[in-house]
Amino acid sequence: MKKIGIVMGSRSDLPIVQKAMDTLRELGIDFEVHIFSAHRTPQQARDFALAARERGFGAIIAAAGMAAHLAGAIAANTTLPVIGIPCKGPYLDGIDALLSTVQMPSGIPVATVAINAGTNAALLCAQILAVTEPELAAKLDEMRAKAAAAILEQDRELAQSNQ
Ligand code: RP5
């Protein structure tokens, strides 16, 4: 199975990226994680993106905050699917990163998840790989069924406590 590349603009993004790593581990998907910045280490970010397909990656998660150009900079140098996670920084409630990540020019797409949505970024990567991996697709079905069962249990508990 292909592996997932994860890049973040700064170590300060790690708590968000951790959610993606945890989800990929739970699904048994290999990944490689790096701190590469579109602004502070642009050469490393570019080199990683250029080599990613040949190195066996199936998709790349790019997490960044503030003027969050990392996902777009990665997408500029690969045709692998790039999932952008806008990370909430100290200002503007993360809207700065959301708009910087999502507003890509036509021709260079970034699939942008919600602000701080590390789990969904990993799930989207898993769904991309699962197009050709039936066992992974089954694991995703199982995960959704468990989540639905947990909500139904909460619903029952709530109904009982309000009888
Ligand atoms: C972005 O600037 C990073 O992705 C991070 O979210 C933000 C702040 O970086 P630090 O100043 O915490 O290193 O490039």
Task: Give the ligand 1 atom nearest the CA of 89.
Answer: 6
Q: How far apart are the C-alpha atoms of 137 and 127, rounded to whole Å?
A: 7
- Above 90 in pLDDT, residue 163? no
Model pTM score: 0.96
Average pLDDT, the chain: 98
Task: Determine if ligand 1 sits within 6 Å of the CB of residue 116.
Answer: no
- What lies within 8 Å, CB to CB, of 63 at 6+ separation is 6, 7, 8, 9, 13, 16, 17, 20, 70, 84, 85, 87, 118, 121
Give the residue-averaged pLDDT of 14-24: 98
Using DSSP's 3-state secondary structure scheme, residue 58 falls into strand
62 CA distance to ligand 1 centroid (A)? 13
Decide if 6 contacts 61 (C-beta within 8 A). yes
Cβ contact 7:62 at 8 Å: yes
76 Cα to the center of ligand 1, angstroms = 20
Measured between alpha carbons, how far is 37 from 137 in angstroms, rounded to an integer?
32
> What does the pLDDT read at residue 19?
98
Nearest CA to ligand 1 atom 2: 65
Q: What is the pLDDT of residue 14?
A: 98
How much distance in Å is there from the Cα of 29 to the middle of ligand 1? Answer: 27
Digit-coded pLDDT (tens) for 56-73: 999 999 999 999 999 999
Percent of the chain with pLDDT over 70: 100
